[in-house]
Chains A and B, each alone.
Chain A
Amino acid sequence: DAGVIQSPRHEVTEMGQEVTLRCKPISGHDYLFWYRQTMMRGLELLIYFNNNVPIDDSGMPEDRFSAKMPNASFSTLKIQPSEPRDSAVYFCASSLGQGYSPLHFGNGTRLTVT
């Protein structure tokens, strides 16, 4: 099992540019989560999907953020346009979605917006 795979590991971009983060969940997991981690705010849930359908996007900070899951093996988080305050580590996680099932996290994408 390759685990949750995220790409890229690091992204440096200029303010105003579009950023796309990618995630491949563990095969067979039907829940997918996007989190953002910063020193100031800790770990924040942005959005989660169940069977490829977005269930709760109340954590998405602004309309500049969007997420899609076109199939069970791929999801993207897009920021357009990016701003310096978006700099953070973005994690994708997947799970079997039962209360006793843990989340499996990828190694994250460190985004720096200059």
Chain B
Amino acid sequence: GDSVTQMEGPVTLSEEAFLTINCTYTATGYPSLFWYVQYPGEGLQLLLKATKADDKGSNKGFEATYRKETTSFHLEKGSVQVSDSAVYFCALSRAGGSYIPTFGRGTSLIVHP
């Protein structure tokens, strides 16, 4: 079945550091890929998405590129802020067959001033 694997956290960075959170997936066909962010006390919210190979999703300075050859969708940001401290979830869903989205276990990011 489908699966999403994220790097274990927490990831601890200083403000303005470069961020990478790795995400790889296993799925048949051509899934859409998503990154969600969860701030303390809130629900998950969509950060960015990509629906086909080589697409780059971007939002709020975050980027991720859909790499089918490596089945990856790594999240990157060039300069993190304290306000980026949150839990980040990688996810996939498929247009055909079972629609149920598959989530990774989440990666906690802590950014220090």
Contact A42 B45 (CB under 8 A): no
B42 CB, min distance to chain A CBs, angstroms: 5
Determine which of B36, B49, B95, B105 lies in contact with A42 in the assembled complex, contact meaning CB atoms within 8 Å: B105
Q: A42-B106, A91-B43 in contact; A100/B99 too (CB < 8 A)?
A: no
User: Do the beta carbons of B43 and A99 come within 8 Å of each other?
Assistant: no
Complex CA–CA separation, A34 to B35 (angstroms): 19
How near does chain B come to A89, taking the closest CB pair, in angstroms? 9
Chain B contributes a number of interface residues (CB within 8 A of A) equal to 23
Specify the chain A residue showing the minimal Cβ separation from B48: A102
Q: Which residue of B lies closest to A42 (CB)?
A: B105
Q: Which residues does chain A contribute within 8 Å of B89, judged by CB atoms?
A: 43
| Inter-chain contact B106/A43, CB cutoff 8 Å | yes
- Rounded to whole angstroms, the CA-CA distance of A102 and B95 in the bound complex is 12
Mostly helix, strand, loop or mixed at chain B's interface? Answer: loop
Residue of A nearest to B49 (CB): A102
B43 touches A106 (CB 8 A): yes
Interface residues of B in 69-104 (CB under 8 A from A): 89, 93-96, 99-101, 103
The range of chain A's interface size is 20 to 34
Task: Specify which chain A residues have a CB less than 8 angstroms from the CB of B93 in the assembled complex.
Answer: 99-101
**What is the CA–CA distance of A78 and B36 in the complex, to the nearest angstrom?**
27
Partner of A108 from B31, B43, B51, B106 at Cβ < 8 Å: B43
Interface residues of B, Cβ cutoff 8 Å to A: 31-32, 34, 36, 41-46, 49, 51, 89, 93-96, 99-101, 103, 105-106
Q: Which residues of A contact B (CB under 8 A)?
A: 4, 31, 42-43, 45, 48, 56, 91, 93, 97-108
- What are 23 sample pairs from A and B whose C-beta atoms fall under 8 A apart? A4-B43, A31-B99, A42-B103, A43-B89, A43-B105, A43-B106, A45-B100, A93-B43, A93-B44, A99-B31, A99-B32, A99-B51, A99-B93, A99-B96, A99-B99, A100-B51, A100-B95, A101-B93, A102-B34, A104-B45, A104-B46, A105-B43, A105-B45
